[in-house]
Structure 1
Amino acid sequence: MLSVHLTLLLAFTAIVSAVPLEKRWGGFLGSWANHNGRPSSSYLEFGKRFPGANSNAPSCDLSQAVMPIATTALLPPAPGLSLFHVAIGRGTQNYTCDTTNSTAVPVAVGAKATLFNATCIAASSPQLLAQLPDIALQLPIPTTSSSDAGNPAYADMSGHHYFLNPTTPFFNMDTALHSYGAGSFKKTGAAAAPASAIPGPNDQGDGAVTWLKLDARDAEGQVFQEVYRLNTAGGQPPKMCTGMPAAFEVQYAAEYWLWAA
């Protein structure tokens, strides 16, 4: 375990050192391991800075941010949309099992995750961004609430992702910390995660959940119009329900790219 953590930390330190950027994630990397060499619960400075008070505009050039390519092509953002926000999600994929059926398979019933701002990292250091879901998956699941504005460890918390029902993902990006918008979505595209994706914490698990394209259910009623879930790590359930409880969670992390008109 310790060697894995140190290897990741050293690799990312090398990436950061090679990029002539302002320090935007030092707090996060610095909290990656505590004095025992184990993951810390801190999630510091994932990314976006602000040019002035009460502004949602990033100080980095989002035209430089390019989404990773899926194994099966996902449709591009609709004409007229612009990249508004990129976040790292850390949480769980949720499943149920019919424990009375010996041949039952897990059924997805949604997810819940805390989102951390990585917008400027997406624009300035795509190599680092691509590794953040893997790193986040090794950290404890965040326990803060959207009203925890006084905790400096969550100063760059973008919001929360959860489901209103098994088929309606919701992004609540309006918190006591920032107001980015909120809205519900529907799945319009999916692609299998690459074979190289991290299957779960400590490289143990049943695989990474699919990459997704989500479209707004009510285009007129929300800021974000499309969301892409990319570079997933973990989240897949076992293939069968044998030995599983009626309801269970599987840890995951992912990039979320949010597009607005």
Structure 2
Amino acid sequence: MPIPSSQTALVQQTSAPSFVSVGVGVQNYTCNATSLTYSNVGAVAELFDISCLFGTSSFTTIQDEAFNIWHKAPSSVTVLEAIKFLGGNQLILGQHYFVPNPKPAAGSPAISPKWDFTSAADKGNANAFVIGAKVGDLPAPTGKTDVDWLQVKNVEGALADTVYRVYTKGGQPPSSCTAGAPLLTVKYTSQYWLFGGSIQK
């Protein structure tokens, strides 16, 4: 897995991933009226399988290709349509979005990330999801315009024990905002690596 060795925020896995995908979607932000900066309030993305690209030159660049298409696409083009422009027969694994924190505690976020395969690759399997909690955060090695790389642990679901967001592209908001500004959506792509879990291909 492509984690820089000169950091300790993310822990390298020693086992093979259960799923490797690219997420194409948006990061959502609202304006904090006090600090006049944007606060992240979740994300929404479609996830497509890239395991067939492992070992090829496209494996580490597919998210960049997807971002170039998605970023330039007009608002009338859906995420799924943008993915089709990559060519080939992309297998949609599922969706990534945020839900209310299933295990709220003092100091914990109100919402939690979810990776959900129950309506796509594992349609009908009610356990084919994972809701996670962030345990590691690394600024993207590629620059400040790309969202952070993350390590997330399972708090609910059988899809994975650990999820990583790496090779990110885009998704960062402007550095400031105006009080009362509407919800801001910023296009992004990234690779998501899922490890463990009882749901296998």
Q: Look up the match of 2:69.
A: 139
Cα gap change, 1:244 to 1:192, in 2 (>3 Å): farther
In the TM superposition, residue 185 of structure 1 has moved relative to its aligned partner by 0.4
Structure 2 counterpart of 1:216, one-letter code: N
Equivalent of 2:31 in 82, 89, 97: 97
Confirm or deny: 8 A CA contact 1:72 1:192 kept in the other structure.
no
Structure 2 counterpart of 1:161, one-letter code: H
Q: Look up the match of 1:168.
A: 112
Larger strand proportion of the pair: 2
Range moving further from structure 2, 110-119 or 135-144 = 135-144
Number of residue pairs the alignment of both structures matches: 172
3-state SS of 2:58 partner = helix
Q: Look up the match of 2:3.
A: 69
User: Relative contact order, CA 8 A, sep 6+: which one is greater?
Assistant: 2
Structure 2 counterpart of 1:207, one-letter code: T
Equivalent of 1:183 in 122, 130, 143: 130
Structure 2 counterpart of 1:135, one-letter code: E
* Alignment RMSD: 2.7
Structure 2 counterpart of 1:222, one-letter code: A
Give structure 1 stretches of 5+ with no counterpart: 1-66, 146-151, 198-205
Deviations 1:12-59 (A, max 9, x none): xxxxxxxxxxxxxxxxxxxxxxxxxxxxxxxxxxxxxxxxxxxxxxxx
**What stretches of structure 1 move > 4 A for 4+ residues in a row?**
152-155
In the TM superposition, residue 244 of structure 1 has moved relative to its aligned partner by 8.0
Q: Look up the match of 1:235.
A: 171
Confirm or deny: 8 A CA contact 2:43 2:97 kept in the other structure.
yes
| Partner Cα separation in structure 1 for residue 150 and residue 167 of structure 2 | 10
In our comparison, the structure showing a higher alpha carbon Rg is 1
Confirm or deny: 8 A CA contact 1:91 1:142 kept in the other structure.
no
3-state SS of 1:129 partner = coil
Q: Look up the match of 1:86.
A: 20
- Residue identity over aligned pairs, in percent, reads 30
In the TM superposition, residue 189 of structure 1 has moved relative to its aligned partner by 0.1
In the TM superposition, residue 242 of structure 1 has moved relative to its aligned partner by 3.7
| Partner Cα separation in structure 2 for residue 110 and residue 176 of structure 1 | 21
| Partner Cα separation in structure 2 for residue 153 and residue 240 of structure 1 | 40
Structure 1 counterpart of 2:59, one-letter code: L
TM-score, reference length from structure 2? 0.75
